[in-house]
Amino acid sequence: MKHVTLYDTTLRDGAQTEGISYSVNDKLHITEKLDQLGIRFIEGGWPATPKEMAFFKAAKKLKLKNSEVTAFGSTRRPETDVKRDVFVKGLLDSGTRCVTIFGKTWDLHVKEVFRVPLDENLRMIGETVSYLKSKGRTVFYDAEHFFDGYKNNPEYAMKTIFAARDAGADCVVLCDTNGGTIMPALGEIVKEVTAKLDCEVGIHCHNDCDMAVANSIAAVQAGCMQVQGTFNGYGERCGNADLVSIIGNLRLKIGIDCVSDEQLKSLTEVSRYVAEVSNVKQRDNQPFVGNTAFTHKGGVHINAMMKNPVTYEHIDPHLVGNKRKLLVSEMSGKSSIMMKAKSLELDLESKANSTKKILNTLQKLEHEGYHFEVAEGSLELLIKRALKKYKKFFELEGFKVVTENKGSKLLSEATIKVKVNKVIEHTAAEGDGPVNALDAALRKALIEFYPSLAEMRLSDFRVRVLDEKAGTAAKVRVLIQSSDSKDSWWTIGVSENIIEASWEALVDSIEYKLLKDHK
């Protein structure tokens, strides 16, 4: 089992994703999470702005156990003394022991972007690497647009990376910057290059052909010892190689040592954490770590899964910290419900009547517009209510919602009366809309009895009209996603009245939270 070094560039390349903007604290929190996972190098950004320099200063105080923060920059500018180049100075001022610089490999860029002689570009590379090495830095050289350059002018492309190697670069990283190289060609080029270089070689792929992960794996198999990528594949245009999938494949498919077994179990947690801090919804079908990566729906599939999980799962989901999900819907058979109950630690093996009752209720409700495969919180409550494994935490005495125009803004106020352990609680709260107001009022009424509700929040709200031909009298389906510090869950409500549907989903959401907290 050979060792491969993981290099994360989420904080720099990933931050170039449209809609992502990390604060200094965001970057520090992500750095700590990546350190827990065992990422060897974490690229902190380009030390050319006050915010980036503030990050590098703060990062020095982090007590990292596995990771090293690196600074990123470019070679010196054309016709500039390397000792006076502002970007090179910024790399040194960042205070990191390791720096990564990029330079031009493709002669097209040298001629048409830099507009300097080809030999001057070679001097820019060599002098910058040599100078940084003289300052005691570990230097990684990113050969930008390497594969396009190699295909266009292989002799010159090789001269550029020889210039970096001869100047003392610790690793030469081959970059598929445009993401346009397909796997067989990329693998062959890596083999040709590694046969000629006597230093460590890395790979950095973009995903414009949806092949960045496959290309990265192929590059490792062809001899690369460092793999660069971003968490969840964030990055400009179509993104970068997804380091999550790279880790899963390296460790579990080809047996390469990149993280420990224990660190691997945090892969799902770290992926979701980075998504949360990035304010980007994680893809449900993201390999290894997505919510549906190990989800089974079809009756035939579930029947086979009950006999042997290997039939429809390529790995045990627990290896990467994920979990198996079995969807139950009107198309499900009894085996689906029995396996779902088993996952909830409920016994239905000897309760044929209960299983049939649950199935009949499920089919009836889905005919009315419910959709339990996307609302597992409500499904769990349905099953536990049918089996009398459910504790009622509060009773609704009544509520009222009023929406009025206050100046130029619509505001809603909800008044609610609930009973908890024979105690009546009567409260009111305002919100930006009726559902927000109801949520605030209900939690305000219950929080004295159930303090854990303070950590719960609504994270998504969806409404769908089930029969558009019925116009404003149509039934609507409301889905609410809620989350706390450990989990997230969906609940559902259906009614011709959107407030009633929302209330139903909201109550299920709170009852699910209380049920899991009081197991």
pLDDT along the chain (519 residues), means of 10: 90 95 95 97 94 96 97 95 96 97 95 93 98 98 97 97 98 97 95 95 98 97 97 97 98 94 96 90 92 77 74 93 73 65 70 76 83 83 83 90 81 92 92 88 93 89 77 80 86 92 93 87
For residue 470, what pLDDT is reported?
A: 58
For residue 65, what pLDDT is reported?
A: 96
474, 468 contact by CB (below 8 A)? yes
For residue 474, what pLDDT is reported?
A: 77
For residue 486, what pLDDT is reported?
A: 79
The identity of residue 496, as a single letter, is: E
For residue 328, what pLDDT is reported?
A: 63
| Alpha helices per DSSP H over 203-315 | 212-221, 243-252, 261-264, 267-278, 299-307
Q: Tell me how far apart the alpha carbons of residues 166 and 126 are, in angstroms, rounded to a whole number.
A: 7
Residue 373 falls in which region: left (phi positive, over 0), alpha (psi -120 to 50) or beta = alpha
For residue 351, what pLDDT is reported?
A: 67
Residue 176 falls in which region: left (phi positive, over 0), alpha (psi -120 to 50) or beta = beta
Q: Tell me how far apart the alpha carbons of residues 80 and 97 are, in angstroms, rounded to a whole number.
A: 24
Of the candidates 26, 51, 45, 145, the one whose C-alpha atom is nearest the C-alpha of residue 99 is: 45
Strand partners, 412: 403, 431
The identity of residue 37, as a single letter, is: L
For residue 471, what pLDDT is reported?
A: 59
129, 164 contact by CB (below 8 A)? yes
What is the distance, to the nearest Å, from the Cα of residue 411 to the centroid of all Cα atoms in its chain?
A: 35
Helix, strand or coil, per DSSP, at residue 46: coil
Of the candidates 374, 338, 329, 375, the one whose C-alpha atom is nearest the C-alpha of residue 356 is: 338
Domains and CATH numbers, the chain: 41-224 (3.20.20.70), 295-386 (no CATH), 395-517 (3.30.160.270)
For residue 219, what pLDDT is reported?
A: 97
For residue 359, what pLDDT is reported?
A: 79
